[in-house]
Structure 1
Amino acid sequence: MSDAKAAAGPKDLRPIELDEIDQRIVAILQREGRITNADLAVALDIAPSTAHARTRSLVERGVITGFHASVDHRRLGRGLQAIIGVTLRGGTRHDSIVRFADEVRVLPQVVQLFFLGGTDDFMVHIAVADSSEVRQFVVDNLSTQPFVASTRTSLIFEYHRNAVAAGFS
């Protein structure tokens, strides 16, 4: 792991100050992660070398953590999505929380995993073929875990992802 990435790891939660150009880079890349550096430079009215250096700096400082493809799960035969709230048993130790997250987040059905404060300890977003696969996922991967107290499953009828997060426009 690079020193910059280690410095911006989960223990360092201080916000990173971004100037207007950095904010615009983040906003553009959130909307269009595959934009070429040349096109990014044109959109920002800066030199391509400046766009490249600024983007690289945002990655090194941990502001940009990756570039991702948006996948249409229906085209992969996984047209049913669900959010499953998971409550762990009282007194669950840190090791159990970490183990649960490590085991669940790598399952092929899992799109996103959220560790929460509140009624649910985790929200698991899955994409599967049909309702029987939702049931199978809950039974095989959640209910059988000794530290899981309960689950609540909600089907997703429609999903809208904001192109821009963190308040940048």
Structure 2
Amino acid sequence: MGKPQLDQVDRLLLGTLSTDADVSNKTLAARLGLAESTCAYRVRALREAGIITGTRAQLDLALLGYPLQAIIMVRLGSHTMTNVNQLYDALVSAPGVIQAFHVAGADDFYLHVAVENAEALRDFVLQHVTSHRVVRQTETHLVFEVRGGAGVLAT
């Protein structure tokens, strides 16, 4: 499957939805000067093409009782496909993982996690990361603040 052909209207729709996924079709159409039916058709086509893959609620983790966020860098001792895939599956299913990145470079994985406090962070690393025999080393960095970026369709 090749790169989808997007026109300016598609890009405007995607840009708006990427910053406000909850916007109603009526409001989206009005913002972009489109007929509601055209707007609905275009968004549906973008979903069917796999360009829009879902929507997510943004949660205030601190208000939910998880005020401490960290990035955990993980290095493996063995890089077989089986080891990498098994660990990746285990990491993404661990409670508290917001995102897991399989990366190139000195480290093999970056985990973005949210936990209740410093003790819970320590326990997370011990129970869900270093408990895997393939993990050789970890390094944990506290996150002071998280800001979303402009995204790829920023104008």
Is TM more than 0.5 here?
A: yes
| Correspondence for 2:141 among 148, 154, 158 | 154
Could you tell me which of 43, 58, 71 is aligned with 1:70? 58
> Which residue number corresponds to residue 165 of structure 1?
151
On the 8 A contact 1:24/1:168 being kept in 2, the answer is no
Distance of 1:108 and 1:56 partners within structure 2: 33
**Structure 1 stretches of 5 or more lacking a match?**
1-6, 8-13
Q: Which residue of 2 aligns with 1:31?
A: 19
Q: After the TM superposition, which residues 17-166 of structure 1 pair with which residues of structure 2 at under 5 Å, given as runs? A: 17-90=5-78, 92-162=79-149, 164-166=150-152
Deviations 1:22-77 (A, max 9, x none): 11111111111100011111111111111111111111222111100111100011
Deviation track 1:56-110 (CA, whole Å, cap 9, x = no partner) reads 11112221111001111000110000000111114x2112111111111122200
- Identity of counterpart residues, as a percentage? 33
Q: How many residues are treated as equivalent by the alignment?
A: 155
SS in 1 for 2:18: helix
TM-score normalised by L of structure 2 = 0.94
Runs in 1 of length 4+ with deviation above 6 angstroms? none
Could you tell me whether the CA contact under 8 Å between 2:102 and 2:109 is conserved in 1?
yes
8 Å Cα contact 1:23/1:168 also seen in 2: no
Gaps of 5+ in 2: none
* SS of aligned partner of 1:15: coil
CA distance in 2, matches of 1:56, 1:29: 13
Superposed CA RMSD in Å reads 1.3
Deviation at 1:168, TM superposition (A): 3.4
**TM-score, length basis structure 1:** 0.87
